[in-house]
Amino acid sequence: MTIMPSLEYEHALKAEGCQVVAGVDEAGRGPLAGPVSVAAVVLPADFDHPVLTESKKLTEPRRERLYEELTSDARIRWCCVLVEAVEIDRLNILGATHEGMRRAVVGL
């Protein structure tokens, strides 16, 4: 089953009075060793980008250029955190991912 991207949730939250909606995602949950990386981002309401769709479909050089472009845009708020293996061992991978998400959102 393919789920198409949608702004349905964001629009519903804003209709309820929420002024800021952050996107949160993780990478690194699959490997058996190493940290889990979590990022949170708030894009401006008028944000649109012709190339930015699915990072896994981009080449590494294109991802690097997009990283430079997006992280240097003062309108974009972002925070990235790493949860190290020792915390993953203590919390389990799901707990460590949730903790990383919490830290990334607080870091915004």
99 — pLDDT class (breaks 50, 70, 90):
very high
Whether 5 has a pLDDT exceeding 80, the answer reads no
pLDDT recorded at residue 30: 76
Joined together, the tokens standing for residue 32 give 């058996």
Sheet holding 36-42, edge to edge: 23-27, 36-42, 77-83
Question: What is the rounded radius of gyration, in angstroms, for the C-alpha atoms of the chain?
Answer: 15
pLDDT recorded at residue 2: 73
- Amino acid present at 73: D
Percent of the chain scored above 70 by pLDDT?
A: 97
Joined together, the tokens standing for residue 33 give 């060793």
Task: Give dist(CA 53, CA 91) in Å, integer.
Answer: 32
Confidence (pTM): 0.83
Task: Give the residue-averaged pLDDT of 39-64.
Answer: 87
pLDDT recorded at residue 28: 84
